[in-house]
Structure 1
């Protein structure tokens, strides 16, 4: 007797496709709002930098990549005007990477766009179904917080 359930491999592919759909829509809209150069890895990197800034080594640890890989991404973000390197007030020998107003603006706009994309899912699926999906995912995802180490994980 055949099972009515889909094969197990379909679940991770559907989750990834949903993630990819949202990320692609986000970046298409960010481009129209003045941030055409922002790529997914840049968003994860800016999240890893945070509002307080971070060293390149710390960014690499948070992303799950080498300090050198993090440094290359930071270099590109600096060239695009999203981050800056400043003296670290805790260690005069080190530099701190901080978000610039342009970087902060891209994160603020991304948050607005994600709210709009979620609202589109609610319009399509219904509020109860979206809340149920989110609740179910929270129950299945271990630990607290949201990982930003996707670049390292896929690398």
Structure 2
């Protein structure tokens, strides 16, 4: 008699995906309410590459794993909306450094506040100690498989 496959909601990949989708949907709903409705989930990965001191477009290409043209289009979009600014690179006369503007930093602050509230609510559901244990366990897994570089694979799976 063949084994019955597990329901997709029970495998870890689906659970991680569902949890991430839930978090992302709530984040963007709240950002929209705060006046940041022009930000999309893909932008969050780019913003991570700009914290704290900015980055070159090439660095963002490497971080995101997408084409130079795609990064340029994202930067144009975000610059037109006042989130980022391209300025001369301090040590490369031909290069540009992309930095967050005041509006960009306001978005980061809003995002962090929203994440804190979501995590607090999740902690109320399963208990803060359990949530911290999950965080610790995930960091241990990521640390182990990424050879100690937790940020190494912080990119979307385009």
- Paired residues, what number? 151
Secondary structure of the residue aligned to 1:92 is coil
TM-score between both structures, scaled by the size of structure 2: 0.86
Deviation of 1:128 (Å): 2.2
* Alignment RMSD (CA, Å): 2.2
Secondary structure of the residue aligned to 1:36 is coil
**Alignment match, 2:135:** 134
State how 1:30-69 maps to structure 2 within 5 Å.
30-69=31-70
State how 1:5-154 maps to structure 2 within 5 Å.
6=6, 10-141=11-142, 142=145, 143-146=148-151, 147-150=153-156, 154=157
Question: 1: distance between equivalents of 2:113 and 2:26?
Answer: 13
Question: 2: distance between equivalents of 1:82 and 1:42?
Answer: 10
Deviation of 1:18 (Å): 0.4
Question: 2: distance between equivalents of 1:72 and 1:40?
Answer: 15
TM-score between both structures, scaled by the size of structure 1: 0.88
Question: 1: distance between equivalents of 2:24 and 2:128?
Answer: 21
Which structure 1 residue ranges, 4+ long, deviate > 3 Å from structure 2?
A: 6-9
Question: 1: distance between equivalents of 2:105 and 2:86?
Answer: 15
